[in-house]
């Protein structure tokens, strides 16, 4: 820990102190080239260990010295200790450095801000491991192009060349002849809907999302069908997704860019009233587009969606019941998955494009919407809106094996789905689109398939519908 400008006089320390509520110390090995060792016939690698404090209420990780780490291991987080008792064990300068780093909290007015942040952590009843994992996996101003681990410009071939082949796509626990065959599955309308479910990376930036369609999707996915008073003053919501303890902690926040009769901007969706609540933001389309890009960590194909739906968890809502519970945070993350799948199915039925991504800048979102990250924070970002038609022909040709001029039937089906810029299709239109698509796919089976390399190039260049890139966590 670096030297800080903090009073080291014993009398200037707070009268009472204690350690912050949640703290992990990570020993981190650092490897360096040792030229001297190499020339001397020894090891060319020199290893050293640095210690970092991870505390969710702090602004970031904090490097520690051995004496500071040892002191933190001897100071408890529950009982306030007097200045005199701590000075009998530790130098005043060491205590001052730990106070400046907010790893110790004091009862003096100068420590009010870190003390209140630590109190919010305590009052939310986080499981310590979950709190650290959540706090230190959040991003700020990160872009997928800047992170070599997830950049979308590396193809599957590039990854295999660097890492070797991935684990097999299927696993088996018995020999093939020991498997128990099941009856052929029966096809229903749900199967047809699931077959069209896909991630869209190509939104139509020239169209508007129909207001009624926008409303229908929100009501289905994040709205509630009923409010039930369980006990006087205590109510629960009935929604379309399962939720741990029926608590429904996910709060929907919206970034609206192109919706009929809805001004572009930031909103909170009130599930009980089925209504939008404005969140203050500069009335500047350029700044809104910039925020959309930051929300999805530079994934421009997602940032162009007509609506971004941010699922933020009110942690205290779940942790109120499941206090310091090892499964509570996992239940929240699972719920976000349920909600995003409902969005996929609803958007698909309306002929809209849709996506969900884990590559988000949580800290930027928290600042934009005024969220306290210790008590409420983004879990994932979804988006939906009318699909674009650009690149459909080339992307379909490369993926499905059709000649570049042979995708007219598929495009005709897409046009049916996009009619009225995303408004709900009639049953006859949806059936016609499905029939045309199925016929086109059947005819394409007789044609020579495109090479795997061409399919990959088309997917990475066009980034059209279904053009998934394996290196982006979306």
Statement to judge: residues 65 and 154 lie in one domain? no
Query: What's the N-to-C CA distance of the chain in angstroms?
Result: 37
Are 218 and 244 in a shared domain? yes
Give a yes or no: residue 130 inside a domain. no
Nearest to 394 by CA among 311, 465, 329: 465
Per-residue pLDDT tens over the stretch 69-96: 999 999 999 999 999 999 999 999 999 9
Residues 236 and 110 grouped into a single domain: no
pLDDT at position 1 is 60
CATH code assigned at 456? 3.40.109.10
Q: Are residues 34 and 61 in the same domain?
A: yes
- How confident is residue 7, by pLDDT bands cut at 50, 70 and 90? low
Q: 282 with 374, same domain?
A: yes
Question: Strand 265-270 vs strand 226-231: parallel, antiparallel, or unpaired?
Answer: unpaired
Spatial separation of the C-alpha atoms in residues 457 and 5, rounded to whole Å: 56
- Is pLDDT above 50 for 444? no
The residue range of the domain holding 33 is 10-124
Domain end, chosen from 99, 124, 149, is at 124
| 296-318: pLDDT as tens digits | 999 999 999 999 999 999 999 99
pLDDT digits 0-9 by tens, 240-286: 999 999 999 999 999 999 999 999 999 999 999 999 999 999 878 89
Write down the pLDDT at residue 10.
84
201 and 111 in a single domain? The answer is no
Q: What is the mean pLDDT of residues 403-427?
A: 39
pLDDT bin (cut points 50, 70, 90) of residue 150 is: low
For residue 2, is it within any domain? no
- How far is the C-alpha of 107 from the C-alpha of 60, rounded, in Å? 22
Task: Over range 449-467, report the average pLDDT.
Answer: 40
Q: pLDDT tens digits, residue range 211-225?
A: 999 999 999 999 999
Judgement on whether residues 259 and 380 belong to the same structural domain of the protein? yes
pLDDT at 9: 77
pLDDT at 282: 80
Residue 16 has pLDDT above 50, yes or no: yes
Whether 54 and 14 map to the same domain: the answer is: yes
Tell me which residue of 135, 140, 106 sits closest to 23, measured CA to CA: 135
Q: What mean pLDDT do residues 190-198 have? A: 95
Domain count, the chain: 2
Q: Is the pLDDT of residue 145 over 80?
A: no
- Answer with the one of 96, 124, 152 that is the final residue of a domain: 124
Q: Please tell me whether residues 85 and 148 are part of one structural domain.
A: no
């Amino acid at each position: 820990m670096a030297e800080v400008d903090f009073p080291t006089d014993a009398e200037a320390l707070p009268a009472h102190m204690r350690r912050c509520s949640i703290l992990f110390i990570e020993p981190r090995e650092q490897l360096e080239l040792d030229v001297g060792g190499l020339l001397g016939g020894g090891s060319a690698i020199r290893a050293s260990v640095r210690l970092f404090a991870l505390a969710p209420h702090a602004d970031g990780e904090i490097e520690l010295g051995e004496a500071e780490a040892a002191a933190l291991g001897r100071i408890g987080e529950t009982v306030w200790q007097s200045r005199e008792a701590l000075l009998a064990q530790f130098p005043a300068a060491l205590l001052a450095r730990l106070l400046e780093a907010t790893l110790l909290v004091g009862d003096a007015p100068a420590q009010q801000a870190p003390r209140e942040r630590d109190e919010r952590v305590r009052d939310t009843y986080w499981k310590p491991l979950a709190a650290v994992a959540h706090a230190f996996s959040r991003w700020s101003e990160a872009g997928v192009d800047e992170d070599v681990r997830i950049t979308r410009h590396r193809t599957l071939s590039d990854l295999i060349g660097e890492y070797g082949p991935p684990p097999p796509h299927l696993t088996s626990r018995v020999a093939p002849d020991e498997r128990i065959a099941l009856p052929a599955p029966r096809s229903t309308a749900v199967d047809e809907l699931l077959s069209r479910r896909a991630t869209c990376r190509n939104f139509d930036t020239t169209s508007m999302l129909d207001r009624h369609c926008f409303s229908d999707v929100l009501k289905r996915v994040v709205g509630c069908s009923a409010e039930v008073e369980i006990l006087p003053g205590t109510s629960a919501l009935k929604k379309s997704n399962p939720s741990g303890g029926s608590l429904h902690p996910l709060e929907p926040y919206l970034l609206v860019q192109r919706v009929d009769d809805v001004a572009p901007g930031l909103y909170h969706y009130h599930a009980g009233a089925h209504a939008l609540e404005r969140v203050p933001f500069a009335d500047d389309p350029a700044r809104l587009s910039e925020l959309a890009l930051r929300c999805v960590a530079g994934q421009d194909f997602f940032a162009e969606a007509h609506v971004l739906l941010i699922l933020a968890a009110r942690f205290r809502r779940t942790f109120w019941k499941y206090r310091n519970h090892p499964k509570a945070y996992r239940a929240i993350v699972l719920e976000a998955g349920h909600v995003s799948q409902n969005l996929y199915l609803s958007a698909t039925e309306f002929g809209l494009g849709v996506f969900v991504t884990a590559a988000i800048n949580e800290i930027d979102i928290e600042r934009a919407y005024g969220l306290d990250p210790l008590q409420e924070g983004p879990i994932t970002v979804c988006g939906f809106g009318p699909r674009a038609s650009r690149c459909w022909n080339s992307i379909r040709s490369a993926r499905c094996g059709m000649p570049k001029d042979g995708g007219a039937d598929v495009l005709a089906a897409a046009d049916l789905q996009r009619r009225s810029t995303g408004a709900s299709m009639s049953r006859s239109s949806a059936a016609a689109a499905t029939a045309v698509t199925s016929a086109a796919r059947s005819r394409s089976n007789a044609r020579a398939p495109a090479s795997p390399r061409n399919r990959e190039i088309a997917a990475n260049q066009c980034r059209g519908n279904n053009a998934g890139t394996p290196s982006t966590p979306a």
